[in-house]
Structure 1
Amino acid sequence: MGRLAGKVAVITGAAQGMGEAHARLFIREGAQVVLTDLNEEGGRALAHELGGNALFVRQDVACAGDWEAVVRAAEARFGPVTVLVNNAGIIGPVKGLLEFSEEDYLRVCSVNQLGVFLGMKAVLPGMIKAGGGSIVNISSIAGMLGTKESSNAAYCASKWAVRGMTKLVAAQHGASGVRVNSVHPGYILTPMMISATDEQGGGAADVIPLGRMARPEEVSNVVLFLASDEASFVSGTEHVVDGAMIAG
């Protein structure tokens, strides 16, 4: 029996990077997983590889109708959703405030902030009816402090918003058995992060006390813990996975 046996999970942004790593680990630990992404080709290929306990649904996380479709698909195939990993996110142009457009700001916040809000709203009724569940919101170290080298105003604002919403929903729905926590990765070896740094993240590693960027699986291990019953009294908290970057 795996650590997530009996759990039905939705993981957004699951076609690659951290979302893919989360999905692979969740399947190994016994969960039934709905993978969502705008990358339909990559998402379907991954779900096919993972087997019968995985289902892909194309989704725009900023669309409430898409969230309703995801929950319906999960319930029809596996049953009530008891774990949500709000992983989907974008960085947007790495520019200063004066160069950053209103259009870019709204685009980043629609995915990173509105998407998390809609996701929690979509799964909460089912979790409450089922007697509880776990929501893991992927924020960033940019939700703990400003990271001017690989961030922007919209990314920073959206990741602070995720941190705040996490605490609010944890407080509001704890009595229903729903736990809500945020994870704050630093520099992780994913396509999105590499595109925002330099030369496969080499320069980024210079500011990390552990001397390297993290593998996506190292974030997944924290997400797994929070999704599992091992974290039964952990809610409303931040979990930083950054190799001591913001500690130094």
Structure 2
Amino acid sequence: MELHGKTIIVTGASSGIGAAAALLFAAEGANLILGARRSIELDAVAARISDAGVGKAVVLAGDVRNEDYAQALVELAVDRFGRLDGAFNNAGIVGEMVPAASMSLETWHEIITVNLTSAFLAAKAQIPVMKEQGFGSIVFTSSFVGFSNGGLPGMGAYAASKAGQIGLMRALASEHAADGIRINAVLPGGTITPAGGQGNAAVLDFVANLHPMKRMAEAREIAQAALFLLSDRSSFVTGSPMLADGGISVRLA
């Protein structure tokens, strides 16, 4: 029970890595605040947690690009459970994959706002409560694509947003280490999710073969990495871009 009694926010919790994380964290004893845009899917994840009889989950649907929504998730955590131990700020999109010279400004803004601005808004809402408590752990879902030697064609906006997350994470980690707040990022490789080509055998096979391990990650495997960063096992870890990428960044290097 790595998260027994801890209250954790999970965004992007309606599917993919976020849903897998919600189920895993609940099994480890967490009280969860689940956020995403799709309320029906969020309710379904919460129902699975309730049926399992371990952990607790409440849901609040909304848009992570909205500052009021980021604050509402924090307030819900404190109102329901009296504290906020951690947050897995996981919501994000890949967006349209086109060369930068052909990318519309609308596409650029959408990807940057959903992936990077939302991370800033989440941390802005979460840090004051954690600072007052004297403890907390924040984890962002970045990507190997935003890491050194991780660039892929057609992913300029996505790479910029995920690299920006790493820069933001490191600055925040430095600012708040003395406050007892640890801030890290998990950097997945190709993961079998709706956004990662789930259901398309040709795409899955192509992406799998980019990895030295010759497979893609299951969403639960990335959730396990986030669990480590949120748990007390990582008590001396902050400012870390933690690769969970099946070695793809090694190959690209």
Which band: TM-score by shorter chain?
A: over 0.9
In the alignment, what sits opposite 1:38? 37
CA deviation vs aligned residue, 1:192-222 (integer Å, no higher than 9, x gap): 0117986251111111110101101111111
Among residues 82, 91, 96, which one is paired with 1:79 in the alignment?
82
CA deviation after TM superposition for structure 1 residue 12, in Å: 0.3
How many aligned residue pairs are there?
246
Among residues 134, 143, 147, which one is paired with 2:151 in the alignment?
147
Moved over 3 A (4+): 195-198
Measure the CA separation in 1 of the matches of 2:245 and 2:48: 30
CA spacing shift, 1:232–1:217, aligned 2, 3 Å: same
Q: Please say if 1:107 is aligned against 2:106.
A: no
2:89–2:119: 8 Å Cα contact kept in structure 1? yes
Q: Please say if 1:163 is aligned against 2:166.
A: yes
Q: Please say if 1:193 is aligned against 2:196.
A: yes
Measure the CA separation in 1 of the matches of 2:45 and 2:246: 29
TM-score by length of 1: 0.95
1:187–1:204: 8 Å Cα contact kept in structure 2? yes
In the alignment, what sits opposite 1:117? 120
Q: Which runs of 5+ in 1 are unaligned?
A: none
In the alignment, what sits opposite 1:237? 240
Measure the CA separation in 2 of the matches of 1:183 and 1:202: 23
The 5-angstrom pairing of residues 47-62 of structure 1 reads 47-51=46-50, 53-62=56-65
CA deviation after TM superposition for structure 1 residue 168, in Å: 0.4
Identity of paired residues, percent?
A: 35
Measure the CA separation in 1 of the matches of 2:234 and 2:90: 19
CA deviation vs aligned residue, 1:27-55 (integer Å, no higher than 9, x gap): 00011001100011100111122127101
1:94–1:196: 8 Å Cα contact kept in structure 2? no
CA deviation after TM superposition for structure 1 residue 98, in Å: 1.3
Q: Which runs of 5+ in 2 are unaligned?
A: none
- Which residue identity lines up with residue 71 of structure 1 in the other structure? V
CA spacing shift, 1:141–1:165, aligned 2, 3 Å: same
What secondary structure, in the 3-state scheme, does the structure 2 residue paired with 1:10 have? strand
